[in-house]
Amino acid sequence: MEATVRVIARVGYTRTTLESIGTGAGYSRGLVQHRYGSKGPMLEELVNKIVTDQQETVLERLQSLHCMDALFCEIDCYLEGMDAPLERSRAFYMLMQESLGPAPHIRSAFAAIGARWHRALARQIEVGQQAGQIRPDVDPACEARLLIATLRGLRMQSMLDPHTSNIAKSIDSLKDGLRARLLQTR
């Protein structure tokens, strides 16, 4: 999988071949094709592996956090390393973008990932409402959707132009905005 990450991060889906992945991993040209048959199943496995690894990291850090602290942890985990994205992050975003065009067969994997993340964030907001920390008139589903869009947008901007990305300031602004919109005032 690491050879796949390297190739995808470097050239994207369209220019990636099973042969280039096999030779990049030090295997015969046909081994990857023999195992996966085509790029589609291999790329879906790659996307799921990247997400599973990220989820494990987030879940470990989320232990004993609730409400706003949990939302802020999600932000921090998602945006870590943004100014110098790892190959995995770059490959993930390249595949997400290409799922809208030349790789529509992996779009459902990204949609499922987004739906799970949306439910988890909305649930944290609901927990905050039940605890009296977050305003009861806040729409958890809407706020979760906005948060995902903002995080993905910040990540994409930093990859497009890392020299002008001021991630620390962006994270602070995002958290301040969430506090202002969500927190219960007493």
How much is the pLDDT for 17? 85
CA atoms within 13 A on the CB side of 5: 15
- The rounded distance, in Å, linking the Cα atoms of 54 and 174 is 21
**CA end-to-end distance (rounded Å), the chain:** 51
| Four-CA torsion 122, 127, 131, 135, nearest 10 degrees | 10
The span from the CA of 159 to the CA of 162, in Å, is 6
Q: What is the pLDDT of residue 175?
A: 95
Structure tokens, 138:
């806040």
What pLDDT was estimated at residue 83?
A: 57
Please report, for the chain, how many H helices and E strands are present, in that order. 9, 0
How many structural domains comprise the chain?
1
**Around Cβ 74, how many Cβ atoms within 10 Å?**
22
Report CA Rg, the chain.
19
Residue 77 lies in a domain: yes
Whole domain around residue 104: which residue ranges? Answer: 39-182
- In the prediction, which pLDDT does 129 show? 96
Classify residue 67: in a domain, yes or no: yes
Give the CATH number of the domain where residue 137 resides: 1.10.357.10
pLDDT in tens, the chain (186 residues): 888 888 888 898 888 888 888 888 888 778 888 888 888 888 888 888 888 888 888 888 888 888 899 999 989 888 876 655 678 888 888 899 999 988 888 899 899 999 999 999 999 999 999 999 999 999 999 999 999 999 999 888 888 887 777 788 888 999 999 999 999 876
Question: Is the residue at 64 inside a domain?
Answer: yes
Q: Return the closest-CA partner of residue 58 out of 41, 71, 44.
A: 71
